[in-house]
Amino acid sequence: MKGQLLSANHAAALAATLAARANRTGRGFCSGVYPITPSTECMEFLCAQQIEKGRVVRVESEHSAMGVCIGAAAAGARSFTATASNGLAYMAENCVAAAGLRLPVVMAVANRTMGPPWNIWADHGDALMLRDLGLIQIYCADNQELFDTVLSAFRLAEDQRVLMPAMVCMEGFILSHTVAQTEIPSQEQVDRFLPLTSVPQQLGSTPHSLGQIELPAQTETHRMQHHQAMLAAETVFEEVRGHFADIFGRELQGALVPYRTEDADTLIVSLGTMGLTAQRVVDRARERGEKVGSLRIRMLRPLPVAAIAREFAGKSRIAILDRDISLGFGGVLWGELARLAQAPVVQNYLAGIGGGDVRPEHLERVLADLKGRRQSGTPVNVEAI
Amino acid sequence: MRNEPLLGGMAQSAVDRETPLLRPGNTNCGGCGMSNLLQMMRRAVADRPVQLVIPACCAAISAGAFPQAGLGAPTVLTTFASAAAVATGAAAVARLNGEETRVICLAGDGGSYDIGFATMSAAAERNEDILYICYDNEIYGNTGGQRSSATPAGAVTTSTPGGKVEQKKDIMAIMAAHRIPYAASLSLAHADDTLRKLRHALDLRGFRFLHVLSPCPTGWKSEPALGMELVRLAVRSGLYPVLEVFDGRRHQINIEPEFSDEALEMYLSLQRRFQNTGLKASDLRPAIERHWLNLRVLSGRIVPARRETR
């Protein structure tokens, strides 16, 4: 284990490189990549690596990038790609295909606002667009967590009980371009952590077709199987965390990151880096004697419903932050979580949409607003309170 | 029934691949040119290990409904625009593992000329180790026969009820311009031509492109039994040039047409798609002549100077 100064983009690419090399005695590694701000540095780093029994294909579009990953995974290899924003939207059709074919492709997504109007800054709306399509989604808050999660995503996605694509998200620039000291394990440790990729439906020599036409009843069965596998991913992720701790001697962050929640009556709930800001605000509030806690959601699909409901139990005020908006509705995270809360006040705050800074003072305003509420209201923008 | 000679060895012979690529019980329309192509491919492929990559097109229907497999080789069915990209991944992994597997894209004209064009062009530019076969029925057959950029001018389709106005895209020139190792148009009506080119393309490495004029009785409104005759007429009349281009540089014309107007009239009259637009052989002849003049130049023939007739 040694420390390296890396951007989160580079950390994701390095995790993918180590995972790629770990499959050199298996079917190898093949990846399709295409640049887009702010995930470009991830593919650039990958393109500069020497990977034994590996190939990185510089394709002509995100759609083809995932196409190459589909072909590679269908041939039994390990696969990875990175994208963001409109690139993810362009790739979406093939993300659905990878999910439907149950291929364990790992993706790093540097969350960026969807355009036009063109905006290169952070917004979770791009990844959330794919929420319902059968891909695992995990959101990260710092470089180490991102490195660890990308590495672990291979083990999770390739688990025979799971077998589906996994998307690991980092907010564009806020995280993707932040450079931090990151603990990097040795290749030998990664080799022990990641079993060789095995895709049971891989193309061989026997005639069989992947992705052929089926009738409604068959699709219903396949959807339910996929749903069950997705639900199983929550348990498998806990097992992966156990293996991670055994081999690397440190903890992989869980599906949820509760912070000072046990005795709290008020919760700030968030995705990604806003959770770290929330923790600072919680500390300040605690100094003032306010019983505030933070709950950071890492795993959005599968959504750890029971664990979230347990965290929500007994709380009286819950602020749900969204760096995204489902237009005509409100925050997506709020839409997902509000039903799990019994609290009298569950308020949605739209924060940092289109990449605006979310600073501690914003969250102080959120806490003040929350305190003044007698009941839940419609979603509000933090800039407006 | 393994390799039992049928029709005196014409339909099935001892050199054929053990399992047919297009299995009995498939749902292809009668007279489908792609069916003929797959049967010819069975013979050409022989004992070479192959995998198929098929985008959304009629051949994706040939693959059959789950869990039956209508195709006799491992197949991945891809999204419409991504056949060449998916094949890139599959072929790359085969190479990384030292396997001899030939990865074959089987795509229609919609998936090649139109929606999959950028993907195909990029795979050709990277010279991926793929055999890309475009079976061209000159329409979106799978969706009921809409115009594509492969539809010839004058053809009625469901989206050009008055007949298409624009010319057919010259896909061979485009693919040759990528300077890929091998690009060829083949005639299903000339079995020796088809077999030779399929075998040659299967054995080469790098990106190989084969263009196949593929009769579609359903879309062309023609008699299913006349498919091969239509291809022969297209070749005889000069409408469908049969040629090979090596490395994008050396052009070789394989079948010298008669440039027969009679064949051209016959070709048009046997398809109802041309009947209501009043298209005549004389309407097509100038474009055919210009195209062939260009092909003669490219193939290194000395072309006498002449003034174009108006």
**Is residue A203 domain-shared with residue A345, that is, in the same domain?**
no
Show residues of chain B in contact with A30, CB under 8 Å. 89, 92-93, 96
- pLDDT-based confidence at residue B301 (cuts at 50, 70, 90): confident
Mean pLDDT of B97-119: 98
- Biggest alpha carbon–alpha carbon distance for chain B: 61
Which residues 6+ apart lie within 8 Å of B235 measured at CB?
B187, B189, B190, B242, B255, B257
B53/A30 touch (CB, cutoff 8 Å), yes or no? no
Length reported for chain B = 310
Pick among A23, A66, A68 to test the B interface (most B CBs inside 10 A): A68
Q: Out of A55, A66, A212, whose CB is closest to B96?
A: A55
Q: Out of A30, A61, A211, whose CB is closest to B77?
A: A211
Separation between Cα atoms, residue A187 and residue A227, nearest integer Å: 34
pLDDT at B125 over 90: yes
pLDDT at B1 over 50: no
Computed over every residue of chain B, the mean pLDDT equals 94
Asked which of A248, A264, A286 is the last residue of a domain, the reply is A248
SS3 A286: helix
B75/A208 touch (CB, cutoff 8 Å), yes or no? yes
Computed over every residue of chain A, the mean pLDDT equals 97
Closest CA to A122 of A82, A174, A81, A177: A174
* Both structure tokens of A345: 């006040």
A76/B93 touch (CB, cutoff 8 Å), yes or no? yes
A208/B91 touch (CB, cutoff 8 Å), yes or no? no
**Is residue A274 domain-shared with residue A233, that is, in the same domain?**
no
A30/B126 touch (CB, cutoff 8 Å), yes or no? no
Mean pLDDT of B140-163: 96
Show residues of chain A in contact with B20, CB under 8 Å. none
Which residues 6+ apart lie within 8 Å of B285 measured at CB?
B261, B264
Mean pLDDT of B88-94: 98
**Tokens 């917004």 correspond to what residue?**
A123
Q: Out of B74, B96, B119, whose CB is closest to A206?
A: B74
Tell me the C-alpha to C-alpha distance, in Å, between residue B291 and each of B149, B170, B297, B302.
17, 10, 10, 15
Residue B9: predicted pLDDT: 64
CB pairs under 8 A between A and B: 159
Which residues 6+ apart lie within 8 Å of A380 measured at CB?
A347, A348, A349, A350, A369
Asked which of A225, A248, A271 is the last residue of a domain, the reply is A248
Domain that holds residue A244: 2-248
Show residues of chain B in contact with A54, CB under 8 Å. 96
Determine the residue of chain A that is closest to B60 in CA distance: A212
Number of structural domains (chain A) is: 2
Single pTM value for the model = 0.96
Show residues of chain B in contact with A57, CB under 8 Å. 88-89, 92, 126
**Tokens 């083949």 correspond to what residue?**
B186
Q: Out of A67, A79, A209, whose CB is closest to B69?
A: A209
Q: Out of B53, B71, B87, whose CB is closest to A207?
A: B71
What is the C-alpha R_g of chain A?
Answer: 20
Mean pLDDT of B209-226: 97
A68/B63 touch (CB, cutoff 8 Å), yes or no? no
Cβ atoms of B176 and B229 within 8 Å: the answer is no
Residue A192: predicted pLDDT: 98
Residue A93: predicted pLDDT: 98
Q: Out of A27, A32, A70, whose CB is closest to B78?
A: A70
Identify the contact set of chain B against chain A, taking CB-CB distances under 8 A: 19, 49, 51, 53, 60-61, 63-66, 69-79, 81-82, 84-94, 96-97, 118-119, 121-122, 126
Determine the residue of chain B that is closest to A94 in CA distance: B79
**Is residue A309 domain-shared with residue A190, that is, in the same domain?**
no
List of chain A residues with pLDDT < 50? none
B93/A214 touch (CB, cutoff 8 Å), yes or no? no
Which residues 6+ apart lie within 8 Å of B206 measured at CB?
B127, B128, B129, B180, B181, B182
Q: Which CATH number fits domain B7-298: 3.30.450.80, 3.40.50.970, 3.40.1710.10, 3.20.20.140?
A: 3.40.50.970
CATH of the domain at A377: 3.40.50.920
**Is residue A239 domain-shared with residue A304, that is, in the same domain?**
no
pLDDT at B310 over 60: no
Which residues 6+ apart lie within 8 Å of A253 measured at CB?
A145, A148, A149, A298
Q: How far is A165 from chain B (nearest CA, A)?
A: 16
A207/B76 touch (CB, cutoff 8 Å), yes or no? no
**Is residue A282 domain-shared with residue A231, that is, in the same domain?**
no
Show residues of chain A in contact with B93, CB under 8 Å. 27-28, 30, 71-72, 75-77
Indicate the Cα dihedral angle B188, B191, B195, B198, nearest 10°.
-10
Other beta carbons less than 10 A from residue B223's beta carbon: 15
**Is residue A176 domain-shared with residue A293, that is, in the same domain?**
no
**Is residue A130 domain-shared with residue A183, that is, in the same domain?**
yes
* Both structure tokens of B76: 């991945």
Show residues of chain B in contact with A201, CB under 8 Å. none
**Is residue A39 domain-shared with residue A150, that is, in the same domain?**
yes
Residue B4: predicted pLDDT: 57
**Is residue A309 domain-shared with residue A212, that is, in the same domain?**
no
Pick among B19, B22, B66 to test the A interface (most A CBs inside 10 A): B66
Pick among B82, B95, B132 to test the A interface (most A CBs inside 10 A): B82
**Is residue A265 domain-shared with residue A220, that is, in the same domain?**
no
Show residues of chain B in contact with A105, CB under 8 Å. none
Asked which of A248, A272, A294 is the last residue of a domain, the reply is A248
B93/A75 touch (CB, cutoff 8 Å), yes or no? yes
pLDDT at B113 over 90: yes
Determine the residue of chain A that is closest to B71 in CA distance: A207
**Phi, psi of A277, rounded to the nearest 5 degrees:** -65, -40
- In chain B, DSSP assigns E strands to 50-54, 75-77, 102-108, 131-136, 182-186, 208-213, 243-246, 250-253
